[in-house]
Amino acid sequence: MKKKIIIGNWKNYLNYQESIHLSKKISKINISNNVRVMVSPNHLYLNEINQIFNETNIEVIAQNVTSSESKSDTGGITVSNLKNLNIKRSIVAHSESRIREKNPQKVLEEIIPIAYQFVLCFEEIDQIPFNLLTNKFEIILAYEPVWAIGTGETASIDHINEIHKKVKLKLEDFSLEIPILYGGSVNPSNSRDILESDYVDGVLVGGASTKIDHFEGILNSI
């Protein structure tokens, strides 16, 4: 069986001390062979947190990227700076970035040619630029219905399967092999059912990933 991908997106829930504390706790968890784990802390703490996970199989990823090379991009996050900190992947176009930025998907035109790995969030299938995607490096998609994010209203398995199936068929049309995660109020009580679906390659967890017992519960649910 392919490993399921579990990403903890800490958003801006944790301050510096809390982020370091949580990182140290997570780095001590015995992670099963069935899962691949990534955590996405606040950008300000990426470097230090990356060092904490250095000796583990857990990958530290960025929450957003706004351009590829170093250039005038005040307040932005560039691939060159992320690579400089040995951060090999970023979330792109998360719903919260979509509110803040006019067209967060646009950065894909810059980062795909330089093969920078990313997790592209989408709510509508037409937000996925299938023609730009490639099998040449690892790309991950995450279906995140906005009404389910941070609301406690998880999408039903039938709904998740229906959307993921549609996206998988489309990916097949483009001969793309790209995993699709689900995100939106995933918690330790619903993660098993979601992760057990053949249409779901993993989960992108927000709030529940910032609490060690909840995150551990999700990691142990498959």
Q: Which residues bind ligand PGA (CB under 6 A)?
A: 9, 144, 149-150, 183-186, 204-208
Instruction: Write the Ramachandran bin of 46: left for phi over 0, alpha for psi from -120 to 50, otherwise beta.
Output: alpha
CA distances in angstroms from 54 to 48, 60, 138, 222, listed in the order given: 10, 9, 20, 25
The residue at minimum Cβ distance from ligand PGA is 206
Supply the minimum distance, in Å, between the C-beta of residue 142 and ligand PGA: 7
Supply the minimum distance, in Å, between the C-beta of residue 52 and ligand PGA: 21
* CB nearer ligand PGA, residue 183 or residue 202: 183
Cβ proximity of 70 and 80 under 8 Å: yes
* CB nearer ligand PGA, residue 68 or residue 97: 97
Supply the minimum distance, in Å, between the C-beta of residue 93 and ligand PGA: 12
d(CA 5, CA 140): 9
Instruction: Write the Ramachandran bin of 22: left for phi over 0, alpha for psi from -120 to 50, otherwise beta.
Output: alpha
Q: Which helix (H) or strand (E) holds 160?
A: helix 157-173
* CB nearer ligand PGA, residue 75 or residue 152: 152
DSSP state of 124: S
* CB nearer ligand PGA, residue 9 or residue 50: 9
* CB nearer ligand PGA, residue 82 or residue 186: 186
Supply the minimum distance, in Å, between the C-beta of residue 169 and ligand PGA: 24
Supply the minimum distance, in Å, between the C-beta of residue 199 and ligand PGA: 18
DSSP state of 78: B
Of the candidates 7, 39, 10, 46, the one whose C-alpha atom is nearest the C-alpha of residue 150 is 10
Instruction: Write the Ramachandran bin of 209: left for phi over 0, alpha for psi from -120 to 50, otherwise beta.
Output: alpha
* CB nearer ligand PGA, residue 61 or residue 186: 186
Supply the minimum distance, in Å, between the C-beta of residue 75 and ligand PGA: 21
